[in-house]
């Protein structure tokens, strides 16, 4: 039942948490349902009660389940929690949760940049960009839509990358241009067109993110517009003084 | 026209930006309207063209206006931009934009904490909390609803604070318990009840924030649930690697 391929890298309690998370998100448990007790988890996975407890605590910390004193743990908010403190991509975040991220390319163009893209990416009208529109899925369910724009001069072979399976961020690492930082703006919006494109009800609100990411030498390398479902995601951030 | 009280503290170009921002948000300019040229701003305020340019750039940077080459600057997205990197409150953020924050108290109770409040605030059932529900306004327009919960033992005189005018955060500074950091979770939601309470259409999405703030000694001091209008606010965050 556990992902033995990863064993030795991912602590057992994280793997157990991944399994339970998956069952919650795939609907095996509904909101308010009781999840297995720590004793049951211990027996099912052949682990100590303490390890079982750690797995449940992991899910409690992200708000997916909550404990009721003396009664056990129950399914709470069924939203995936992503962090806003680190610059990570959809692909990596979803994989780390033990879920399966995929993408469907809606369009892929090589074209001239818009005025806004010139400003954000610090390029000229004569430069060209790759523009990719992708629907993002988690275990086959549409979770969002992304419009990615990258300058051709920085990633000339970008059209050879399999963007249904690989991420821009891992590709940038491969070609020795790792991301250093990003600036992101967030909105909460309704968007009929996006809802239609990814085939979900128009009554679901979206997070809209506008991200510009930079290389270590401060060169802007991507302008990313993302719509992610408000009913599927929540985001955390640490605030300092 | 400028706020002379603040002169010497707030740079002129910021004050000019505040004035134009206010006119945009109060509807003197609609989306797509041209704002005054840099020459006109220079004449109106008696400042150099460079200062006028700085003021417009300030508004461009926050996305409130955009420049069209050779044509001037136009009103874009009419949303207030707040930062997620610093722990600041509504009151302070709005004031710094040159706008007028107010609050209406919907309810104020001294009561026993819920189980969730006990966990988040690290208190026991026998402790008491102050719970305050406030509608937040910008220049008289409802922008959000907040539910604030603070342990009585940390702020015993909290019921004497004028929460329609003063903020918890400035009060905490006054009593020598300044905030050190906070953890915040964000959602994008629709909420009929909140929309009704603050008297706006039910079709407007909200940012929902769940914040727990801590003192320097790591004592949790507030649990804050905020609903802020998605059509009025956007949030920015810097992401690192």
Asked if B230 and A181 come within 8 Å (Cβ–Cβ), the reply is: no
Q: Which residues of A111-144 are buried (b: 16+ CB within 10 A; e: fewer)?
A: eebeeebbbbbebeeebbbbbbbbbbbbeeebbb
The CA distance from A26 to the nearest CA of chain B, in Å, is 20
Q: How large is the average pLDDT for residues A177-187?
A: 94
Does the pLDDT at position A160 exceed 50? yes
The CA distance from B87 to the nearest CA of chain A, in Å, is 5
Give the chain A residue nearest B80 (alpha carbons).
A187
Cα distances (angstroms) measured from residue A220 to each of A23, A108, B80, B222, B235: 39, 20, 25, 38, 20
pLDDT of residue B8: 52
Asked if B184 and A239 come within 8 Å (Cβ–Cβ), the reply is: yes
Q: How many CB atoms lie within 10 A of CB B225?
A: 14
The CA distance from B116 to the nearest CA of chain A, in Å, is 9
Tens digit of each residue's pLDDT, chain B (241 residues):
454 444 457 899 999 999 998 888 877 888 889 999 999 999 999 999 999 999 999 998 878 898 888 899 999 877 888 988 888 889 989 988 888 999 999 999 999 999 889 989 999 999 999 999 999 999 899 999 999 999 999 999 999 999 888 889 999 999 999 999 999 999 999 999 999 999 999 999 999 999 999 999 999 999 999 999 999 999 999 998 7
Set out the domains of chain A in order of their start, with CATH numbers: 12-75 (1.10.10.10), 87-236 (3.40.1410.10)
A116: left (phi over 0), alpha (psi -120 to 50) or beta: alpha
Which DSSP symbol is given to B61?
A: H
Q: What is the mean pLDDT of chain A?
A: 91
Report the complex ipTM: 0.82
A112: left (phi over 0), alpha (psi -120 to 50) or beta: beta
> What is the 3-state secondary structure of B186-220?
EEEECCHHHHHHHCCCCCCCEEEEEEEEEECCCCE
Integer Cα distance of A177 and A208 in angstroms: 26
Instruction: Tell me which of A133-147, A178-192, B72-86 is least confident.
Output: B72-86
Does the pLDDT at position A6 exceed 50? no
Closest residue to B235, CB basis, from A115, A186, A189:
A186
Q: Provide, rounded to the nearest whole percent, the portion of chain A with pLDDT above 90.
A: 73
Give the residue with greater pLDDT, A133 vs A67. Answer: A133
Does the pLDDT at position A3 exceed 70? no
With contact defined as beta carbons under 8 Å apart, do A117 and A123 qualify?
yes
What residues are paired with A82 via a beta bridge? A235
pLDDT of residue A132: 97
Chain B interface includes A238 (CB < 8 A):
yes
What would the pLDDT profile of B18-75 be if each residue is shown by its tens digit?
999 888 887 788 888 999 999 999 999 999 999 999 999 999 887 889 888 889 999 9
Q: What is chain A's percent helix, strand, coil content, to nearest 5? A: 30, 35, 35
Integer Cα distance of A166 and A92 in angstroms: 10
- What does DSSP say about strands A206-215 and A179-189: parallel, antiparallel, or unpaired? antiparallel
């Amino acid at each position: 039942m556990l992902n033995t391929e990863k064993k030795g890298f991912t602590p057992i309690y994280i793997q157990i948490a991944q399994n339970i998370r998956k069952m919650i998100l795939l609907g095996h448990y509904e909101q308010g349902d009781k999840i297995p007790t720590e004793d049951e988890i211990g027996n099912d996975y052949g682990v100590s009660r303490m390890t079982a407890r750690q797995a449940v605590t992991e899910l409690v910390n992200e708000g997916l389940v909550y404990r009721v004193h003396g009664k056990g743990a129950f399914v709470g908010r069924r939203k995936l929690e992503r962090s806003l403190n680190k610059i990570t991509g959809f692909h990596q975040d979803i994989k780390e949760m033990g879920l399966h991220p995929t993408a469907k390319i809606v369009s892929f163009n090589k074209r001239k940049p818009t005025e806004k893209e010139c400003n954000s990416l610090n390029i000229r009208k004569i430069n060209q960009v790759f523009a990719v529109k992708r629907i993002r899925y988690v275990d086959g369910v549409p979770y969002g839509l992304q419009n990615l724009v990258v300058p051709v001069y920085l990633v000339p072979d970008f059209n050879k990358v399999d963007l249904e399976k690989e991420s821009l961020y891992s590709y940038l690492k491969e070609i020795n241009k790792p991301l250093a930082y990003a600036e992101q703006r967030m909105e909460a919006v309704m968007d009929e067109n996006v809802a239609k494109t990814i085939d979900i009800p128009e009554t679901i609100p979206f997070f809209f993110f506008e991200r510009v990411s930079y290389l270590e030498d401060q060169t802007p390398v991507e302008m990313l517009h993302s719509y992610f479902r408000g009913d599927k995601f929540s985001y955390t951030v640490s605030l300092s003084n």
